[in-house]
Amino acid sequence: DIQMTQSPSTLSASVGDRVTITCRASQSINSWLAWYQQKPGKAPNLLIYKASSLESGVPSRFSGSGSGTEFTLTISSLQPDDFATYYCQQYNTYSYTFGQGTKLEIK
């Protein structure tokens, strides 16, 4: 199976900050990568698909980049609603795997 590794596991930041979360795949997944946001007690919400495509309705402060094995999710200016846990997911094969998650906390 393809392993997905996110860093950092926890990130402390302030409203207005620019933050970046990294996701690495154990082998090339081309651009078949998605990013999800999850808030406590809620289902995940799709933010980015195909590494850099913004899902409809998602604010433009979210962006994704990368291909092959290295990917990033960037939030250009943190808003109070953005403090949550973020997961990357590969869908290169029918053995989907998620990263372990990055918890974005208020500094």
The residues of the shown chain that bind other proteins, judged by CB under 8 A, are 1, 32, 34, 36, 38, 42-46, 49-50, 55, 87, 89, 91-101
Q: Which is nearer to other proteins, 17 or 55 (CB)?
A: 55
Q: How far is the CB of 71 from other proteins (least distance, A)?
A: 13
Nearest to 33 by CA among 9, 6, 5, 64: 64
Helix (H, G, I), strand (E, B) or coil at 94: coil
Q: Is 64 within 8 Å of 71 (Cβ atoms)?
A: yes
Q: How far apart are CA 85 and CA 88, in angstroms?
A: 10
Q: Which is nearer to other proteins, 27 or 77 (CB)?
A: 27
Q: How far is the CB of 19 from other proteins (least distance, A)?
A: 19
Q: Which is nearer to other proteins, 17 or 63 (CB)?
A: 63
Q: Is the peptide bond before 8 cis (omega within 30 degrees of 0)?
A: yes
Q: How far apart are CA 77 and CA 91, in angstroms?
A: 28
Q: How far is the CB of 56 from other proteins (least distance, A)?
A: 9
Q: Which is nearer to other proteins, 14 or 42 (CB)?
A: 42
